Amino acid sequence: MLKSKNMLTLKGQRPTSRSDSVESDLLLWWEDFYVPVFEYILPKMGILEGKKGLELGTGTGGTATLLAKRGASVIGIDLLPFRLAEAKARVSEHNVAESVNFALMDAMHLAFPDNTFDFIISKSVLVFTEHAQTAKECYRVLKPGGKAVFIENMRYHPMVWLYRKMFLKYSTKLRYFSIRDVETVGAEFENLEHREFHLSAVGALFWRKCIAIPALYRTSLRLLKAIDTSLLKCFPFFKRFCWITAMICHKD
């Protein structure tokens, strides 16, 4: 398998199969921060070959493409027609158009029969919805034994909170996640695993957004990510102040 320049490997190993590396260019933005999240969720999703999945709020289709490249067939839904047009172009560009279909649909009212999908995934979408209602709909359309994976933005990271206050006017309308919100979503399923990401690592963005020194950015990011891993392991209390949460919800 060829390794593209945008393909990062799990824990720096050589990729040995198409499921053990993450194409960072398909994560679309903040990819340095989403690669570890996908490295966490992809092994938990298991073998995707031949599986039928639903992506809520597919946007420009990066995640649907990534999963289709691993052999899944995916339906991507979104509320915005122009996003779906961009997503269609993306899947064609990556030669997975036959594995991905799109539909204009609200994640809170899914027009699919019960027990349809092997997996459901969404990234930065539940914040736009009423969490429990969306989780209920996902539970309904998920097959028994299926998993719903929700990657979401958390509420209380101090720097991210300040950034939203200063630059994202619409952020006041979004339902960012607290640990309690994570548990609310999980309560709609039989089992919930979740992991939180990025506390001090967000500080590395100083060397990208404020003073752009790529070498310092890369070094500080690597160092701060390692610090976060140890810190969160020793002091789970700090999970609530992370930037991103990944929930894996199981239906029995």
Ligand X SMILES: C[S@@+](CC[C@H](N)C(=O)[O-])C[C@H]1O[C@@H](n2cnc3c(N)ncnc32)[C@H](O)[C@@H]1O
> Under a CB-based contact definition with an 8 Å cutoff, are residues 88 and 97 in contact?
yes
Shortest separation between residue 90's beta carbon and ligand X, angstroms: 10
By beta-carbon proximity to ligand X, the closer residue of 181 and 220 is 181
CB of 101 to ligand X, least distance (A): 15
CA 153 to chain CA mean position, Å: 9
User: Looking at beta carbons only, is 54 or 202 nearer to ligand X?
Assistant: 54
CB of 160 to ligand X, least distance (A): 14
Strand order in the sheet with 73-78: 100-104, 73-78, 52-56, 117-123, 142-153, 244-250, 191-197
Q: Taking CA 163 as the corner, what is the angle to CA 162 and CA 164, rounded to the nearest 5 degrees? A: 90
- The residue (of 129 and 220) whose beta carbon lies closer to ligand X is 129
Q: How far is CA 242 from CA 11, 103, 154, 170, in A?
A: 21, 33, 7, 21
Residue 174 C-beta: closest distance to ligand X, Å: 9
Of 19 and 124, CB closest to ligand X: 124
With 0-12 CB in 10 A as exposed, 13-18 as middle and 19+ as buried, what is 161? middle
Residues contacting 80, CB < 8 A, separation 6+: none
**How near is the Cβ of 114 to ligand X at its closest, in Å?**
19
Structure tokens at 191: 């089992």
Of 21 and 129, the one with the shorter C-beta distance to ligand X is 129
Residue whose C-alpha is closest to residue 138's, from 109, 160, 99, 95: 109
Give the C-alpha distances (Å, rounded to integers) separating 55 from 15, 69, 102, 225. 25, 14, 9, 28
**Minimum distance, C-beta of residue 223 to ligand X, in the bound complex (Å):** 27
Closest distance between ligand X and the C-beta of residue 171, in Å?
11
Return residues touching ligand X (CB under 6 A).
Answer: 28, 56-60, 62-63, 77-80, 83, 106-108, 123-125, 128-129
User: Cβ closer to ligand X: 102 or 207?
Assistant: 102
36/59 with CB nearer ligand X: 59
- Between the alpha carbon of residue 22 and those of residues 1, 8, 63, 95, 212, the distances in Å are 13, 6, 10, 17, 25
